[in-house]
């Protein structure tokens, strides 16, 4: 459902500790104590 909404133009923000769930995202931002440690985008 979230992928369908995103494909229709909605921005989805998902917060998770699960790498398996994060793998569905097109962009992953890893944070620690409010600071960005790493940002990566999935190839289209």
7 Cβ partners below 8 Å, 6+ apart? none
7-41 pLDDT per residue, tens:
999 999 999 999 999 988 999 999 999 999 999 99
How far is it, in rounded angstroms, from Cα 44 to Cα 35? 26
**What ranges do the domains of the chain cover?**
2-41
42 pLDDT more than 90 = no
Contact yes or no for 8/20 (Cβ under 8 A): no
Report field, pTM of the whole predicted structure over 0.75: no
Beta strands in the chain (DSSP E): 27-32, 35-41
Helix (H) or strand (E) run with residue 4 in it? helix 2-7
């Amino acid at each position: 459902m979230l992928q369908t909404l995103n494909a229709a133009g909605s921005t989805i923000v998902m917060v998770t500790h699960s790498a398996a769930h994060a793998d569905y995202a097109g962009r992953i931002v890893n944070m620690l104590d409010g600071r960005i440690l790493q940002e990566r985008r999935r190839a289209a």
